[in-house]
C-alpha cells in the first residue's frame, strides 16, 4: 500500500519529516507522488540548518554563484563542477530551492574534503616578489617590491589595472567594500576606488614605513615603524587620532568595532579605543614578542615568540588561560565558537578547546606554519615547502594536502569557494584555486 496516496497529507508529511537527506533522496526516486512529497522546502531547509548551511541560501547564494570554467583541474583530474539534470520529458515539478541549496552545499563541502578544485591561470605580472595581497572573491589585489599594485579579475585571471602610485615597497593591502587601502614603506596610507582604481586620497603621518592596516566602513587603523597607532576618517580623509604606548615595533593589529588591539616586540598588548583615541589597558604576560592576535567583544587570543598562546577577557584584560605545547614561536592564531587554532615554527597546527585543552596536534607541514583560516566548515593552513592543508577541525584530521607554491608561502586568502596564495619568490606570482 502506498501510504502517500492513502494517508492524510498531514500524516504523510509528518512521516517524511523524520527522513534523513539520503532517505529523502531515495524516496524522491520511488514515484511521482513520493518525489513531490520529498520535494518540500521545509524538509531541506531544516537539514541545511543542521549542517550550518543556511548561509548558502541567504548570505552566499549558491543558486546564483557562477562556476569558474577553466581547462586545468587538480592533480587527480577530477572536476569540482556541480551538474544536475532531469529528464524534461517527465514534466516534473522543479526541485525546490532548499533541496538545490543542500545538494550544492554538499557538493562544495565534498570538493574541499576530496581536493576537487580548478587551478586558474597563474597571476603573473609583478617583476619582483609579492609583498601584499587581499581579495573579496571577485578581485584579487596584489602589491610588490616593484612598487606596483595590480587589480586582477578572479573569473578571467586578467589584470584589470596596474597602478604606479606608490614610491616604495607596498607592505599591506586591505579591501573593504568599494575601497582598496594600502600601506607603503614610503610612509603613506593610500585609499583607492576598487571599481575604477582611482587614487581617492593619501595620508602621511607615519615616520617610516606603514606595516599593519585594518579597515572598516568608517575608519582606517594603521601602525608603522614609528610604533604609533593612527586612526583615519575615510569620509573626511583626515587623521583623527595618533596613539602611543609601545616601546618597540608593532607586530600584529586587530580591530573590532571601536576597539583596536596591538601586539609588539616589547612583549606587550595594548587595547585601544579608536573612537576616543585613548589607551584602554596594557596587557603584559608574554615573555617574548606578541606575534599574532585576534579578538572580539568577549575574548582575546594572542600568540607569542615564547611558544605560548594566551586567552584574555576583553572587558577586564585578565589573562584567563595560558596554552602550552608548541616547541617554537607561534606565528598565527585564529578561532571560532568551537576551537582555537594555532600555527607555529615547529611545523604543527594545534587545536584547543575554548577551555584551554589541547584537542589535537595536526602534523603535515614542513617548516613554519604561517597562515590559518577557519570557518564553520573547515580549517585551512599554509606554510613553507608548498604546503596548503585542508583540515576537518572537529575530527582533527587532514582532508587533503595542496601543493601549489614554488617553495615558501607567506600569504593566503580563503573564503567559501576560493583559495588565493602568494609566494615570496621573484618574479611575483599568485595562485587561485576554485573549489566551485
Which one, of 299, 296, 301, 363, lies nearest residue 332 by Cα? 301
Helix (H, G, I), strand (E, B) or coil at 290: strand
CB 413 within 8 A of CB 387: no
Angle of helix 41-50 relative to helix 97-114, nearest 10 degrees?
30
SS3 54: helix
H helices of 135-274, in order, are: none
- φ, ψ dihedrals at 377, nearest 5°: -115, -25
pLDDT at 5: 73
**Domains within the chain, CATH numbers bracketed:** 3-114 (1.20.1280.50)
Closest C-alpha among 223, 251, 224, 229 to residue 241: 229
DSSP annotation of 300: E
CB 420 within 8 A of CB 135: yes
* Residues 183-212: b if buried by 16+ CB within 10 A, e if exposed: bbbbbbbbbbebeebeeeebbebbeebbbb
**What pLDDT does 18 receive?**
87
Q: Whose CA is closest to 340, among 307, 306, 375, 301? A: 301
CA angle 418, 424, 430 (to 5 degrees): 30
Dihedral-angle region of residue 364 (phi above 0 means left; psi in -120 to 50 means alpha; beta otherwise): left
For residue 371, what are the β-bridge partners? Answer: 382
Strand order in the sheet with 229-233: 210-215, 219-224, 229-233, 238-243
Tell which residue, 198, 166, 161, 163, has the closest CA to residue 179.
198
> pLDDT averaged over consecutive 10-residue blocks of the chain (436 residues)?
75 84 90 87 95 91 77 62 76 90 95 93 93 97 97 95 95 97 96 95 90 95 96 93 97 98 98 97 97 98 98 98 98 98 98 97 94 97 88 95 72 95 87 93
State the CB neighbour count (10 A cutoff) for residue 327. Answer: 10
pLDDT score at 77:
52
What's the confidence (pLDDT) of residue 231?
Answer: 97
pLDDT in the model for residue 4: 72
Amino acid at each position: 500500500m502506498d501510504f502517500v496516496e492513502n494517508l492524510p497529507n498531514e500524516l504523510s508529511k509528518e512521516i517524511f519529516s523524520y527522513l534523513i537527506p539520503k532517505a529523502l533522496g531515495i524516496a524522491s526516486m520511488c514515484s511521482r507522488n513520493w518525489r513531490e512529497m520529498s520535494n518540500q522546502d521545509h524538509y531541506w531547509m531544516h537539514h541545511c540548518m543542521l549542517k550550518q548551511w543556511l548561509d548558502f541560501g541567504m548570505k552566499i547564494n549558491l543558486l546564483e554563484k557562477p562556476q569558474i570554467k577553466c581547462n586545468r583541474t587538480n592533480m587527480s583530474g577530477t572536476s569540482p563542477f556541480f551538474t544536475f539534470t532531469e529528464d524534461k520529458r517527465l514534466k516534473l515539478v522543479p526541485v525546490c530551492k532548499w533541496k538545490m541549496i543542500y545538494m550544492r552545499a554538499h557538493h562544495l563541502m565534498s570538493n574541499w574534503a576530496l581536493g576537487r578544485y580548478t587551478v586558474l591561470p597563474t597571476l603573473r605580472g609583478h617583476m619582483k616578489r609579492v609583498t601584499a595581497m587581499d581579495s573579496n572573491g571577485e578581485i584579487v589585489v596584489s602589491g610588490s617590491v616593484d612598487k606596483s599594485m595590480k587589480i586582477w579579475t578572479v573569473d578571467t585571471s586578467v589584470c584589470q589595472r596596474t597602478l604606479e602610485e606608490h614610491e616604495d615597497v607596498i607592505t599591506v593591502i586591505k579591501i573593504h567594500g568599494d575601497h582598496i587601502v594600502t600601506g607603503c614603506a614610503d610612509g603613506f596610507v593610500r585609499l583607492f576606488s576598487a571599481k575604477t582604481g582611482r587614487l581617492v586620497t593619501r595620508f602621511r603621518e607615519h615616520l617610516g614605513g606603514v606595516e599593519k592596516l585594518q579597515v572598516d566602513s568608517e575608519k582606517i587603523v594603521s601602525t608603522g615603524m614609528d610604533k604609533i597607532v593612527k586612526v583615519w576618517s575615510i569620509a573626511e580623509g583626515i587623521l583623527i587620532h595618533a596613539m602611543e604606548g609601545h616601546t618597540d615595533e608593532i607586530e600584529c593589529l586587530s580591530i573590532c568595532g571601536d576597539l583596536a588591539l596591538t601586539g609588539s616586540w616589547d612583549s606587550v598588548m595594548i587595547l585601544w579605543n579608536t573612537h576616543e583615541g585613548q589607551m584602554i589597558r596594557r596587557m603584559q604576560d608574554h615573555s617574548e614578542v606578541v606575534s599574532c592576535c585576534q579578538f572580539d567583544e568577549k575574548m582575546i587570543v594572542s600568540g607569542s615568540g615564547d611558544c605560548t598562546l594566551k586567552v584574555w577577557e576583553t572587558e577586564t584584560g585578565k589573562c584567563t588561560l595560558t596554552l602550552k605545547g608548541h616547541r617554537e614561536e607561534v606565528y598565527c592564531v585564529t578561532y571560532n565558537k568551537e576551537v582555537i587554532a594555532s600555527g607555529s615554527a615547529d611545523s604543527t597546527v594545534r587545536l584547543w578547546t575554548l577551555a584551554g585543552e589541547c584537542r589535537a596536534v595536526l602534523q603535515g607541514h614542513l617548516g613554519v606554519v604561517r597562515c590559518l583560516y577557519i570557518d564553520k566548515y573547515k580549517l585551512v593552513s599554509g606554510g613553507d615547502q608548498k604546503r596548503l592543508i585542508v583540515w576537518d577541525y572537529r575530527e582533527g584530521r587532514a582532508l587533503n594536502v595542496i601543493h601549489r607554491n614554488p617553495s615558501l608561502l607567506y600569504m593566503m586568502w580563503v573564503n567559501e569557494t576560493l583559495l588565493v596564495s602568494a609566494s615570496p619568490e621573484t618574479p611575483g606570482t599568485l595562485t587561485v584555486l576554485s573549489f566551485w
